[in-house]
Amino acid sequence: MLIAATTFGQAPSQKFEQGFLDSFPMHHQEAIEMSNLCVEKATHQQLKSLCQHMATSQTDEKQQMQSWFQSWYGGKGMAPMTDMAKMKAQHELMMAKLHATSGEKFDHAMMVSMGEHHRMGIADTQKCVAQAVHPELKALCGKMEAEQTDDLSKMSSWIKSWK
């Protein structure tokens, strides 16, 4: 999911970090939208609670990343518009599918969709921990990786037990 950076004159780790901070808040925005829908539609209280937690934590993380992006890089965007448009189109299709389901089927579809979303996020946060320049971003990426791994574990368990 991460967009390759091509800013002239920057070290590769700075390019990575700038690209991450440019694109990952959009990834979080997608999860926030999914989580808010989940809070409205989920039938299991455990899933609703997890979705509320995800919406809150990812809103905070998104705001932090946007603040750092502005502070460290002047908010200068790097992500090609075609890549951002592709991400948006995929998200809109997935949201349409979630809107079209209800009940237990919604819960299952939500957990499968969020699981796929989290797996992409975990791969990116692992790269961030390895390549980011700023220690506070590395720490945030480590925290996001741990939280999303825990979320995946819970949802995987629920998918098996809520049949």
Domain ranges of the chain: 21-161
pLDDT at 5: 40
pLDDT at 14: 84
- Name the residue among 42, 35, 9 with its Cα closest to residue 114: 35
**Who contacts 3 (Cβ-Cβ below 8 Å, separation ≥6)?**
19, 22, 23, 78, 79, 80, 83
Average pLDDT of span 89-114:
95
pLDDT at 105: 97
pLDDT band at 107 (very low <50, low <70, confident <90, very high): very high
6 or 162: which leads in pLDDT? 162
32 or 10: which leads in pLDDT? 32
- Per CATH, the homologous superfamily of domain 21-161 is Ferritin, core subunit, four-helix bundle (1.20.1260.10)
Which two three-digit tokens encode residue 54?
A: 């995800």
Residue 8 pLDDT > 50, yes or no?
Answer: no
Q: What does pLDDT average to over the chain?
A: 89
Q: Tell me, what DSSP letter sits at residue 111?
A: H
Cα torsion 46, 158, 2, 133: sign: positive
Do 2 and 20 meet the contact criterion of CB atoms below 8 Å apart? Answer: yes
Which stretch of 11-25, 68-82, 95-109, 140-154 has the lowest confidence by average pLDDT? 68-82
